[in-house]
């Protein structure tokens, strides 16, 4: 996770992050020449930010790719502090991914 992203905005239940450029090792390893953020890293980022240890992934949908230097918004929803629904959106509010997990 080191130097993979920078938090640009933190508004309680929303985090806007900017990803590093394509020279980061994560991007170098995932489709060289057509770098994308691996799906599991999308989950790892929010678990890292929220200091969560994910026990079970209940649902995961990945609708669009995330590229180096992209800015994305993590929208966090939780009713019971054990189960979390995360929606990742582009800055134009387009849904990129959605997943639900338990801690």
pTM of the shown model: 0.93
Tell me what percent of the residues of the chain surpass a pLDDT of 70: 100
pLDDT category of residue 102 using cuts at 50, 70 and 90: very high
3-class secondary-structure state, position 29: helix
DSSP bridge pairs for 76 = 86
pLDDT, residue 49, reads 97
- Tokens 């849904």 — which residue? 95
pLDDT, residue 48, reads 97
pLDDT, residue 56, reads 97
Rounded Cα gap, residues 86 and 101, in angstroms: 8
Both tokens of 26, joined, read 């994560």
Nearest to 82 by CA among 61, 56, 59, 45: 56
pLDDT category of residue 30 using cuts at 50, 70 and 90: confident
pLDDT, residue 18, reads 98
CA torsion 85-88-89-90 (nearest 10°) is 170
């Amino acid at each position: 996770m080191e130097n993979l992203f920078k938090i640009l905005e933190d508004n309680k239940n929303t985090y806007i992050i900017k990803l590093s450029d394509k020279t980061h090792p994560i991007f170098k390893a995932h489709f060289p020449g057509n770098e994308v953020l691996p799906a599991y890293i999308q989950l790892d980022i929010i678990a890292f930010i929220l200091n969560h240890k994910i026990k079970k992934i209940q649902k995961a949908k990945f609708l669009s790719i995330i590229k180096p230097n992209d800015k994305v918004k993590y929208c966090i929803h939780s009713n019971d502090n054990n189960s979390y629904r995360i929606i990742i959106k582009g800055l134009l509010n387009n849904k990129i991914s959605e997943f639900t997990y338990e801690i």
